[in-house]
Amino acid sequence: MSDESAAQRAFPMRGVPQPTRAEVAALPGVSLSRHPVIAHKMTALRDQRTAPPEFYRLVRELGTLLAYEATADLELIPDAIETPLEPMTGTRLAGGVGIVPILRAGLGLAEGFRQVLPDAQVWHLGLRRDERTLEPIEYYNQLARAGNLQVCFSVDPMLATGGSAIDALNTLKRYSVRHLRYVGLIAAPYGLLKLRQAHPDVPIYLAALDTQLDERGFIRPGLGDAGDRQFGTL
């Protein structure tokens, strides 16, 4: 193997043009959280001193907070009930909700979503990133035909090159899942642009937008490997 080929395998983002944060921050269909509690918890999540049990708890809590933001415009239908005092017409969600965590890092976010929507259907999709090519590799798929779903959320903490997110949404669309949304914690401008271009119809919800990818394809400043930090496999 030539030195050039070895360098390309070790540093796949070397020389790849990347958009700036300012260039992608205003992309259509992108919601970047401005909630102070989310910002507070994201700082604790990034801190390298945060141990795996606390890290997992924070991911789960951030999933709950982002679930409230990402479901704020769901459709409601009337529901006639009786309170202890009198009848009234309330509202309930018009159709079910699906959650698709990208394994394994998406599990904590999915648990946070389930705190808000305990009746949601949870499907699992296993994707890992080839560190040489940065392309996603599917290794597990437990998707089912969607029935009576109003919306389905694909959840994954890190949106780096965008490959896994794009592949997950491609898979869901092949299963005829409609009304998709993507929810993540941290995105790099490069990955956000790639996802927006590949799936312009899918709303994107993020807790933070970072500066860039380094030559290895890691988000900077980022937080390291979200899966390893959640499950103590550092």
Q: By the 8 A CB rule, do 101 and 90 touch?
A: no
Q: What is the mean pLDDT of residues 174-197?
A: 92
Reported confidence tier of residue 95, pLDDT bands at 50, 70, 90: confident
Q: What is the mean pLDDT of residues 26-49?
A: 96
User: Would the pTM count as exceeding 0.85?
Assistant: yes
Question: Coil, strand or helix: which one is 211?
Answer: coil
Q: pLDDT per residue over 70-84, tens digit each?
A: 999 999 999 999 999
Residue 228 predicted with pLDDT over 80: yes
Q: What is the mean pLDDT of the chain?
A: 88
Reported confidence tier of residue 192, pLDDT bands at 50, 70, 90: very high
Whole-number pLDDT of residue 1: 46
CATH code, 3-231: 3.40.50.2020
**Nearest C-alpha neighbor of 108 from the set 161, 53, 163:** 53
Angle of helix 163-174 versus helix 189-198 axis, rounded to 10: 20
User: β-pairing, 124-129 with 136-142?
Assistant: antiparallel
